[in-house]
Structure formats: structure tokens, C-alpha cells
């Protein structure tokens, strides 16, 4: 598959999204960035439990998402599910993406891999995690980060059982949940759930904490743009997409 742009020369990033919760973050980002983020939904249980999350990320199900996106001719594809990838461990998350890339035929990645890529791009090694998941699932995200060489100085979980429930959280509740679990020793705060609407609160949350905040849909958008040949910069989506910031390679 070739990797063309939209008619106006802007990138198209295909999004494979589990169920329905906060997928409206992608058209919001499209308006801000002048890009296209078509969403293909894959369906399974939305329970934040390890067996269900392993099933949600199985290759045949993700391949159906890739097939649904193919007519849009995306320049890249992202599996927009953090827990549906990190539950497989670091090596398993990479295998999942490698298999999906065979189906998409274009540069492909996932939200879990995007978190690590974003931290490396920012030159950040010490983080705090504000997870929505139950404790056992949140612990697997911490393990995933540590296996990638990231120091987790604090990790908290909200114990929310389903993605649908996460998607009902109002903006103020999202901001307060995230801010409550920052840590002074962390260089950045991570909020790992694509079911949570975070794009609206990112600017004020970063201002409140005085540090970068990386959220699931934000890092998915950033890496998808980068893989599609876009610089991955744009307004109002936090320090990660700020074109003025220095990169780790600078």
C-alpha cells in the first residue's frame, strides 16, 4: 500500500480504536492539526482485565481494523489501545505491531510503543503514572515502562473496570485525577488510557504541574503523524507537539 496524503496535502493517520469511548478526540485533533484521522472500530469486551485485553489485541481482530481503513489509504496506522498492547509485555507489544504492519502495508505502531517513543524524543527518563485501570493492569504498564528503561517514581491506579466508564469522566474530573497522581521527582506525568478524553485539559494540566503530560490519545496522534512523514507538531496539544521545544537529539 502506498502512503498518499489527503487532497490538501495533509497526512492521513488510520486509527484502530477499541469499542466506543473517547474516539471523538481524533476529529478534534484533526481540526487543530489539519490532518485526517479516520477511525476503524474493533469490538470486544471493554473490561480492563488481562484475559479480555489479550483477546482484544489478537491479530485477526486488528487485521479487520486494517482492512476497514485501507480504502482511506492512510500514510500510517496506529493501534489506539494502550492496555491492549502493554499487557503482552514489551516484546509482545512489538510483535503485535509487526504483525499488524503486515496487514496494513504502511508504517504502523501502537499507543504503548508511542509512550516510549515520546519519552525518548523528550529526553525524559523519570515519570509518574496516573492510570485509570485496576491495580493488576496498571502494574503491567509500570513493568512495561521499566523494561523499556523508564524509571517510574510513582504509579497510581483509579480502579475503573471498563473503558466505557472512563469515557464518561468530565474534563474537570480528568484533570483532577491526573494532577492528584503527579510526583515531584517525575519529569513527566503519563496518563495511559485512550478511553479518557484528555486533549481539552492538556494545556492547563501542564501549566498546573509545570511539566510535560503525556496522554494516550496525544502520543498516538504524535507518533502516527511522525510515521506518516509529518513533523508531529501542532497547537494546543501539549509540550510533546510544541514545535519550539528542543528534541533529545538536538
pLDDT value for 1: 41
CA atoms within 13 A on the CB side of 228: 30
- Mean of the per-residue pLDDT values of the chain: 89
Summarize pLDDT for 47-87 with one digit per residue, the tens: 677 778 877 788 999 999 999 999 999 999 999 999 889 99
CA 229 vs CA 13, 83, 143, 222: distances in Å = 10, 26, 31, 11
Alpha-carbon span 83 to 89, nearest angstrom: 10
Query: For residue range 127-178, what is the model confidence (pLDDT) as tens digits?
Result: 999 998 889 999 999 999 999 999 999 998 887 877 777 877 888 888 988 9
Residue 9: what pLDDT?
A: 56
Domains present along the chain, CATH in parentheses: 13-114+217-240 (3.40.50.12500), 121-215 (3.40.50.12500)
The rounded distance, in Å, linking the Cα atoms of 21 and 165 is 8
Phi/psi of residue 37, nearest 5 degrees: -130, 70
pLDDT at 250: 42
pTM of the model: 0.91
Amino acid at each position: 500500500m502506498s502512503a498518499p496524503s489527503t487532497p490538501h496535502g495533509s497526512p492521513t493517520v488510520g486509527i484502530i480504536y477499541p469499542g466506543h469511548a473517547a474516539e471523538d478526540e481524533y476529529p478534534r485533533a484533526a481540526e487543530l492539526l489539519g490532518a485526517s484521522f479516520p477511525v476503524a472500530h474493533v469490538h470486544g469486551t471493554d473490561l480492563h482485565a488481562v484475559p479480555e485485553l489479550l483477546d482484544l489485541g489478537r491479530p485477526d481482530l486488528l487485521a479487520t481494523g486494517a482492512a476497514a481503513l485501507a480504502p482511506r489509504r492512510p500514510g500510517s496506522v496506529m493501534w489506539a489501545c494502550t492496555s491492549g498492547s502493554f499487557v503482552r509485555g514489551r516484546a509482545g507489544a512489538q510483535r503485535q505491531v509487526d504483525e499488524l504492519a503486515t496487514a496494513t502495508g504502511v508504517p504502523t505502531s501502537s499507543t504503548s510503543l508511542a509512550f516510549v517513543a515520546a519519552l525518548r524524543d523528550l529526553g525524559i527518563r523519570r515519570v509518574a503514572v496516573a492510570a485509570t485501570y485496576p491495580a493488576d493492569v496498571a502494574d503491567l504498564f509500570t513493568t512495561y515502562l521499566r523494561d523499556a528503561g523508564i524509571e517510574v517514581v510513582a504509579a497510581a491506579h483509579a480502579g475503573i473496570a471498563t473503558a466505557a466508564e472512563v469515557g464518561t469522566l468530565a474534563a474537570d474530573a480528568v484533570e483532577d485525577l491526573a494532577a492528584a497522581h503527579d510526583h515531584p521527582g517525575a519529569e513527566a506525568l503519563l496518563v495511559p488510557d485512550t478511553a479518557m478524553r484528555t486533549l481539552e485539559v492538556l494545556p492547563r494540566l501542564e501549566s498546573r504541574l509545570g511539566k510535560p503530560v503525556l496522554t494516550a490519545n496525544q502520543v498516538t496522534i504524535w507518533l502516527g503523524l511522525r510515521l506518516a512523514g509529518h513533523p508531529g507538531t501542532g497547537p494546543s496539544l501539549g509540550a510533546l507537539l510544541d514545535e519550539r521545544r528542543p528534541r533529545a537529539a538536538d
